[in-house]
Amino acid sequence: MKLAARLSLAVLLVAFLLAPFLVHPGLVFIAGFAMIQIVFALSWNLLFSYAGLVSFGHAAFFGIGAYVSAVALRYGWHINFLLIPPISAVLGAAAAFLVAIVVLRRANGIQFSVLTLALSQLVVVLIGYSEYLGHDEGISAIPRPVINLGIATLDLNNPLASYYFVIVIGLIAIALIWLVVHGPIGRTMQAVRIDPERAAFVGIDVWRLRVVAFTLSGGFAALAGSLLAPWAQIVHPDYVNWLASAQPLFATLLGGAGFFWGPVVGVLGLAWLNYAMRTFVGLSEIMIGASLLVVVLLAPQGILGALRDAVRRRRGKVAGEHR
Amino acid sequence: MILDAQNIEMSYGQLKVLHGVSLQVEEGQTFAIIGPNGAGKTTLFKVLTGERMASAGTVSFRGQDVSKLPAFKRARLGFGRTFQVARIFTELDLLTNVVIPIEARIRASGKSPGHWWSWEPSREVRAEAEDILERLGFPRQRWEDEAQYLSHGDRKRLEFCVALATRPGILMLDEPTAGMSPSDRREMTRFLARFKAETGITIVMTEHDMDLIFELADRLMVLNYGEVIAVGEPAAVRDDPMVREVYLGKGGQHA
């Protein structure tokens, strides 16, 4: 099972890396967009499957990254664009930290989730008031940057360069998230999710751990957002609203909550659904919704959960025949 | 004196559960708290461990007033505890269950338990966890098992490992034999006796099983309706007429 999982991951990685040479530009665009969504969904799942917190407003942090990077490009800030993802991550983390120390003082269950939703909708309203951020129309026709790498320059106006920029930064983010959740911080987060009281009685500061988890998660969400502007060349309040906040939740539930790679499977599943239904104008939302419903009803543990159960059943059967 | 509680009062709304309970526990002692259901044992336990804050009164640990400290800070000072129904990190394997409190202890002491990016626990942490699991009778081939598949007795034993990994100065055991079969109870009693002899650790426990109490406890306290009605040597407390009345009713025939 481990081997099969590793092989699938390797195939997926190769598919992402070779996409521009294998499929038409429309699909390459979807692949780059999926990579951004994957990082976003993983940042959400770090909070959900590891720290046990449900954020309904995570798109606000995604939006911080998206708007920072859009503004930097639109208004021609004199910053090497290579610094924008890390700067976005720091700003997103700082915002998440402020939210966490206020909100987590009082709540960590459903009240926490609803408060994150309210705060993120507030961000949408604030964007609507801002001339600088383009009101409700967002910022469009964002120019792609030319990045000075010291020894060479990387011109993201080249489609190939911009694709690999998104993929490489995305892979770095995925690696960082993987390391965080599999290291000592991740272990402590799991302890708090499984039993916060037990965790407290071994000396874990539960509140502080949750603040750390929320801060990290906000940082990674903003990092994902910062890739949107150079890739899609448009940033819009629709990327910040509650529907956008629901995307990582859908992806995680579809792919499998409790699995690190669940959101990846979910994002790709959703992307495929969206693509497959694109010609059914007006019907596509209904069909996507219906498909999600079917998956949730048939496989409450998501796609990876269903796969795991199938493998276990098969193994059980084989073991039974030996008796 | 390792633990000193003075005049603990506790109310849930209008309901007063503890009426000025005091207790002193000496280093190395095993101190048992008994009483009928609803006597306030569990509430007293929660107040001592920091799960609930007392309405009035003080709790001191090694001379330091800990009355206002939350549970995790008391745990860092040296309170280890187990629960009536064993609470472990069910979805994680046995080794990780023990690694987590060790890492928490190291972090609380201001040191780093290992690089944030290392997906394996550090060698020292792992060695300590393995040592604890081995000492409490979990063989190597079970270390990777998920804790949720353990039997009831094994869960209790793993919870001991988790509590010990914090290197507690005092172990707070909330009904260590709750829900156990008679044979499991005897095994737990033997285990606790051996454990106490080996480590000399201070233990405070609530318990229903009198055999275990008379085997292990140095001091026994009886609670009834939130008040201490007797405290002292177990044998002396057993013969106290008031205790007999509470447990057996007036003119009890079943002694």
Report the residue of chain B nearest A188, measured CA to CA: B100
Q: What is the pLDDT of residue A252?
A: 93
pLDDT tens digits, B45-99:
999 999 999 999 999 999 999 999 999 999 999 999 999 899 999 999 999 999 9
pLDDT tens digits, B172-219:
999 988 888 888 888 888 888 988 888 889 999 998 888 888 889 999
| Residues B3-88+168-248, CATH architecture | 3-Layer(aba) Sandwich (3.40)
Q: What is the pLDDT of residue A317?
A: 63
Which pair of structure tokens corresponds to residue B128?
């300590």
**Beta strands per DSSP E along chain A:** 146-148, 153-155
pLDDT tens digits, A110-168:
999 999 999 999 999 999 898 889 888 889 889 999 988 888 888 989 999 999 999 99
Task: Give the gap in angstroms from C-alpha A194 to the nearest C-alpha of chain B.
Answer: 6
Alpha helix locations (H) across B55-122? 71-77, 94-108
pLDDT tens digits, A180-227:
999 999 999 999 999 999 999 999 999 999 999 999 999 999 999 999
Out of A179, A190, A197, name the one closest to residue B92 (CB).
Answer: A190
pLDDT tens digits, A10-41:
999 999 999 999 999 999 999 999 999 999 99
Contacts of B148 (CB under 8 A, 6+ apart): B90, B91
- Give one DSSP letter per residue of B185-232, joined into a string: HHHHHHHHHHHHHHH--EEEEE-S-HHHHHHH-SEEEEEETTEEEEEE
Does residue A286 surpass a pLDDT of 90? no
Does residue A322 surpass a pLDDT of 50? no
Report the residue of chain A nearest B91, measured CA to CA: A194
Q: What is the pLDDT of residue B255?
A: 40
- Catalogue the long-range contacts made by A5-10 (C-beta closer than 8 Å, 24 or more residues apart): A5/A261, A9/A261
Q: What is the pLDDT of residue B104?
A: 95
Q: What is the pLDDT of residue B252?
A: 43
pLDDT tens digits, A52-97:
999 999 999 999 999 999 999 989 888 899 999 999 999 999 999 9
Q: What is the pLDDT of residue B105?
A: 95
Beta strand B219-224 with B30-34: parallel, antiparallel or unpaired?
A: parallel
Does residue B167 surpass a pLDDT of 60? yes
pLDDT tens digits, A243-258:
889 999 999 999 998 8
Proportion of chain B above pLDDT 70, given as a percent: 97
B63 SS3 class? coil
- Rounded to the nearest 10 degrees, how much is the dihedral formed by the CA atoms of A282, A283, A287, A293? 70
Residue B173 contacts residue B204 (beta carbons within 8 Å):
yes
User: A7: pLDDT confidence band, cut at 50, 70 and 90?
Assistant: very high
Query: Across the interface, do A179 and B117 touch by the CB < 8 Å criterion?
Result: yes
Does residue B253 surpass a pLDDT of 70? no
Q: What is the mean pLDDT of residues A36-53?
A: 96
Does residue A318 surpass a pLDDT of 70? no
Alpha-carbon Rg of chain A, whole angstroms?
Answer: 20
Report the residue of chain A nearest B164, measured CA to CA: A202
Which pair of structure tokens corresponds to residue B222?
């009886």
The whole-chain average pLDDT of chain B stands at: 90
- What DSSP state is assigned to residue A51? I
Out of B72, B91, B162, name the one closest to residue A205 (CB).
Answer: B72
Query: Across the interface, do A184 and B103 touch by the CB < 8 Å criterion?
Result: yes
Residue type, A45: N
pLDDT tens digits, B101-124:
999 999 999 998 888 888 899 999
Residues on chain A touching B129 (C-beta within 8 angstroms) = none
Out of A182, A203, A204, name the one closest to residue B119 (CB).
Answer: A182
pLDDT tens digits, A224-243:
999 999 999 999 999 999 88
Nearest to B175 by CA among B221, B204, B153, B206: B206
Does residue B25 surpass a pLDDT of 80? yes
- Rounded to the nearest 10 degrees, how much is the dihedral formed by the CA atoms of B20, B25, B30, B31? -10
Q: What is the pLDDT of residue A323?
A: 38
Residues on chain A touching B104 (C-beta within 8 angstroms) = 188, 191, 199, 202-204
Out of A183, A202, A203, name the one closest to residue B117 (CB).
Answer: A183
Alpha-carbon Rg of chain B, whole angstroms?
Answer: 19
- Count of residues for chain B? 255
Which pair of structure tokens corresponds to residue A316?
């059980």
Q: What is the pLDDT of residue A239?
A: 93
> ipTM of this predicted complex?
0.90
